[in-house]
Structure 1
Amino acid sequence: MNENITFIEGRFSPAEAADVLLSLLNDKIKFHTVKSLNLREADNDSDNGSAVRITRLRQAKKRVEELVVLAHKKGMELKIDSNIEINLVPRSTA
């Protein structure tokens, strides 16, 4: 089963865009940080990719901040279109 859902759609002031996008990025960073800490507490040496994902999310956050500042300086809005593709897949056994 495959489902596409419109997640964010519209034009936003720089402040609104920052609120929406940075909240989402901060939540994802927090999610992966907690996941990484839980694996360390369980003495699990397997690399779950959380550290790499956190780095990429922080880079995305920095870029969003730059775009928001630029839009503010130029008196512009940000048009955001974001879709999420959701697929049902079998559980992994690992």
Structure 2
Amino acid sequence: MREEIVFIKGSFNPAEAADVLLSLLNDKIKFHTVKSLKLNPGSSQSEEHSAARIGALKEAKKTVEELVLTAHKKGLDLEINSTLAIRLIDKQI
């Protein structure tokens, strides 16, 4: 089973866009940081995944900050479209 949900859709001024996008990115960074702190000793693969994901999210955050600043300087809005694709999976596979 797979569902697609429109998560974000619309035009936002730079302040609104920064609020929405940076909040999401910060929450995901926090999620992976907490997850890496709770890992059991010896699960280095999960720890490496969380560290890599945090790095990628921080890079995405820099990109968003640059886009927001550019839009602000040029007096532009940002169009944001995001869809969530959710699929049920069997954990035993």
Q: TM-score, normalised by structure 2?
A: 0.93
- Describe the superposition over 1:39-87 as per-residue Cα deviations: whole angstroms up to 9, x where unpaired: 1xx3133311000000000000000000000000000000001001000
Q: Any residues of structure 2 matched to 1:1-94 within 5 Å, and which?
A: 1-39=1-39, 42-48=40-46, 49-92=49-92
Percent identity between matched residues is 62
Structure 1 counterpart of 2:33, which letter?
A: T
Instruction: Mark the runs of 5 or more structure 1 residues left unpaired by the alignment.
Output: none
Q: How many residues were matched structurally?
A: 91
- In 2: Cα distance, 1:84 partner to 1:14 partner: 23
- Residues 59 and 91 of structure 1: is their aligned pair in 2 closer, same or farther, counting only changes over 3 Å? same
After TM superposition, which residue ranges in structure 1, 4 or more long, deviate above 2 angstroms?
Answer: none
CA distance in 1, matches of 2:7, 2:92: 26
Structure 2 gap ranges (5+)? none
